[in-house]
Amino acid sequence: MVSATHLRTMSADQVRGWLASEGFDDSSVRHGVDTYRLVYRTIDTRGRATTASGLLVLPRGGDRRLDTVSFTHGTEIYKPDAPSTSGDVWGPGPAVTYGAAGFAAVAPDYLGLGEGPGLHPWKHVPSEVSAALDMLRAARQFAPRTGRLLNGDVLATGFSQGASSALGLARALQHGADPHFRIRAVAPISGAYDFEGAELQALLKGDVPPEVAAVYVSYLFTAWNRIHGGVYETPSEVFHEPHASRVEKLFNGTTPGPDVLESLPDTLGELLTRRGFAVLRHPSGTFADALRVDAEVCRAWTPHVPIRLYKIADDEQATTANTDRCAAWLRERGVNAPVIDVGDTVYGGSRHLGSNVAGTAQIVRWFTTLK
């Protein structure tokens, strides 16, 4: 741990009002909470030393020794929208939900978001996992200063981008990544687990709103070209002008998400060159290799702990075929991973975002039965 900053204290009643103001369920609130921003040492995508930040939520009252919930968040473009720096309910809401239910809750910001230096490596599961694991270690180091201890039991959950991260963290802990921490259960929400077979097809077919598809493809190409190389030599190879000249700057963490959406075209046809479409339709080289690594969170390990996959029908961003494909891959390895539909919650006009709100309410109740 590098530093710890106390952010706020809320009573149980204040937590209930705060969560309810954005439609998060407050029925599991048992305690007030203290929230902290931790800055800690970790590694970047090339294994070099760097720092990252994250949110720690501790209940006020309850047991001295705490089970820990790790929540890995969904896609964010703007650095301040990460859980530990967000000024709204959306970013920290799930972690506060788990903290108020009596868990220690950690929500890493990932590399390059929050107070982390550099650019965010979007959809890079290995660095999301290392950031989440090192956030757990930082929280374990800090908690005794508050009179609490993390007992080592971890329940992993995450939403959208963070759904794959949660599975990756569970895999790492099951394989002994840290002798202090033991994975107890994993419950991801609305992930894009089969990015090549399900998500890319949905983007190309128009099943994802075209203006949203333009954002995701731009984020993917710029991030993966920086991490893996091989997507393009210059942006104009895959992006039409004037977008080619500004797309990398749009995803440097300094532009709010709504402004990014407004700056990009409304269709992939306006955004992508023929070469750009070819990258999506016929993945090859380092891009194909990265897609395979991304899918390994469902394909390349056998969970030995309870696992539930949460989804929402007619998800307009992470097509529900992703969750069904993940469940099928796990069944091939002898794992029964129930797929749970969270219902019809809408948040900000989005069923995808609504699944995070509804899924959090259901998962906190399940995790509480496992304490």
Q: What is the pTM of this model?
A: 0.97
* CATH 1.10.260.160 domain locations along the chain: 195-292
Helices (H) and strands (E) in the chain, counts: 13, 9
* CATH 3.40.50.1820 domain locations along the chain: 3-194+296-369
191 contacts 356 by C-beta, under 8 angstroms: no
Element housing 191 (H / E): none
Cis amide prior to 242 (ω within 30 degrees): yes
In angstroms, the Cα distances linking 218 to 2, 164, 192, 212 are 33, 20, 16, 10
Q: Which of 268, 220, 266, 257 is nearest to 348 (CA)?
A: 257
Flag residues of the chain having pLDDT under 70: none
195-292 CATH fold: 434 Repressor (Amino-terminal Domain) (1.10.260)
Q: Which of 75, 82, 68, 101 is nearest to 165 (CA)?
A: 75
Q: How far apart are CA 47 and CA 52, in angstroms?
A: 14
Q: How far apart are CA 268 and CA 249, in angstroms?
A: 19
Give residue 180's pLDDT: 97
286: left (phi over 0), alpha (psi -120 to 50) or beta: alpha
Give residue 45's pLDDT: 97
Q: How far apart are CA 361 and CA 344, in angstroms?
A: 13
275 contacts 154 by C-beta, under 8 angstroms: no
Could you tell me the two tokens for 224? 């993966």
Could you tell me the two tokens for 345? 């919650």
Give residue 320's pLDDT: 96
Q: Looking at domain 3-194+296-369, which of 3.40.50.1820, 3.30.420.40, 3.40.50.300, 3.40.1010.10 is its CATH number?
A: 3.40.50.1820
Q: How far apart are CA 98 and CA 166, in angstroms?
A: 15
Q: Per residue in 163-173, pLDDT tens?
A: 999 999 999 99
Give residue 371's pLDDT: 87
How is residue 45 annotated by DSSP?
T
151 contacts 65 by C-beta, under 8 angstroms: yes
